[in-house]
Amino acid sequence: AQSVTQPDIHITVSEGASLELRCNYSYGATPYLFWYVQSPGQGLQLLLKYFSGDTLVQGIKGFEAEFKRSQSSFNLRKPSVHWSDAAEYFCAVAARSSASKIIFGSGTRLSIRP
Amino acid sequence: GAGVSQTPSNKVTEKGKYVELRCDPISGHTALYWYRQSLGQGPEFLIYFQGTGAADDSGLPNDRFFAVRPEGSVSTLKIQRTERGDSAVYLCASSHGQGLAGASSDTQYFGPGTRLTVL
């Protein structure tokens, strides 16, 4: 069965600092990979997705993620965080045979230190 | 344009009661999804509609949960004999619904959710 692991429950970084949120997945084949963000009172918003091709994916709000097949990882990065980036971040996967069913990780809460 | 809307935003009910949660997808989206998000967890897939039919209902936890989409637009999630463990935020999403062939461009857009509390 597919699974997604986000090992960090809560991360605090200073405004302007770089950010990396970790995500590992378990699946027999390369799945589709996603990062979503959820702000208080807001719906889930797609930041970026990997389906095939270039393993470095650019998303909205200055985020990027790199798919590393050898490590089964899809870590999210941002070179300089802003206070507005404080939110819950979810990594997610979908099997290529059932792309409509997304499996989410348990999330990483990001706090920004002024 | 308008996004996915869900009503009510909050619902408080008593154990054993019946509840209905409504989802209005983005106009023109043929695919619709229901998820459940418990406190401190990521969303958990419940069911996926393509048009009026449930294409995948493997995430429904038991037969107390049922969802319909009679005209291929609005969907209603129905929970019978509610239990305290059903308390969660129920999320709805919609997408263009191109299916597997078009999955690379079929982004799911989420609504704000309905917070269900079962006392």
Q: What is the mean pLDDT of residues A17-43?
A: 90
pLDDT at A99: 64
Reply yes or no on whether the pLDDT at B86 is more than 90: yes
Q: Which residues contact B93 (CB under 8 A, 6 or more apart)?
A: A44, B4, B32, B33, B35, B108, B109, B110, B111
Separation between Cα atoms, residue A12 and residue A86, nearest integer Å:
9
A98/B contact by beta carbon, under 8 A: yes
Q: Percent of chain B beyond pLDDT 70? A: 92
Q: What is the mean pLDDT of residues A45-59?
A: 92
CA angle A16, A18, A23 (to 5 degrees): 140
pLDDT, tens digit, for every residue of B2-27? 899 999 999 999 999 999 999 999 99
How far apart are the two ends of chain B, measured CA to CA in Å?
Answer: 37
Q: Which residues contact A33 (CB under 8 A, 6 or more apart)?
A: A23, A25, A49, A50, A65, A67, A74, A91, A92, A93
Interface of A with B in 6-25 (CB under 8 A): none
Cβ contact (<8 Å) for A106 and B103?
no
Which residue, among A4, A38, A22, has the nearest Cα to A76 in the 3D structure? A22
Place of tokens 């941002």: A78
Q: What is the mean pLDDT of chain B?
A: 91
Query: Using CB atoms, which residue from A49, A98, A107 is nearest to B42?
Result: A107
Separation between Cα atoms, residue B94 and residue B32, nearest integer Å:
4
Query: Using CB atoms, which residue from A51, A98, A104 is nearest to B56?
Result: A98
Whether A38 and B37 have beta carbons less than 8 Å apart is answered as: no
Task: List the structure tokens of A55.
Answer: 């393993």
Reply yes or no on whether the pLDDT at A9 is more than 90: yes
Cβ contact (<8 Å) for B42 and A92?
yes
A104/B contact by beta carbon, under 8 A: yes
- Chain A residues whose CB is inside 8 A of the B4 CB are 43
Name the residue of chain B whose CA is nearest to A10's CA.
B40
Q: Provide long-range contacts, Cβ within 8 A and 24+ apart, for B103-106.
A: B103/A32, B103/A51, B103/A94, B103/A96, B103/A99, B103/A100, B104/A51, B104/A52, B106/A99, B106/A100, B106/B31
Name the residue of chain A whose CA is nearest to B113's CA.
A43
Beta strands in B38-79 (DSSP E): 44-50, 53-56, 65-68, 75-79
pLDDT at B1: 57
CA angle B26, A100, A59 (to 5 degrees): 75
Nearest chain A Cα distance for residue B45, angstroms: 7
Cβ contact (<8 Å) for A100 and B3?
no
pLDDT at B102: 47
pLDDT at A57: 96
Reply yes or no on whether the pLDDT at B105 is more than 70: no
Cβ contact (<8 Å) for B45 and A102?
yes
A45/B contact by beta carbon, under 8 A: yes
Reply yes or no on whether the pLDDT at A41 is more than 90: no
Separation between Cα atoms, residue B18 and residue A24, nearest integer Å:
39
Q: What is the mean pLDDT of residues A35-63?
A: 91
Q: What is the mean pLDDT of residues A16-33?
A: 91
Question: What are the two backbone dihedrals, phi and then psi, of residue B41, each rounded to the nearest 5 degrees?
Answer: -120, 165
Cβ contact (<8 Å) for B112 and A46?
no
Reply yes or no on whether the pLDDT at B101 is more than 70: no
Separation between Cα atoms, residue B39 and residue B93, nearest integer Å:
19
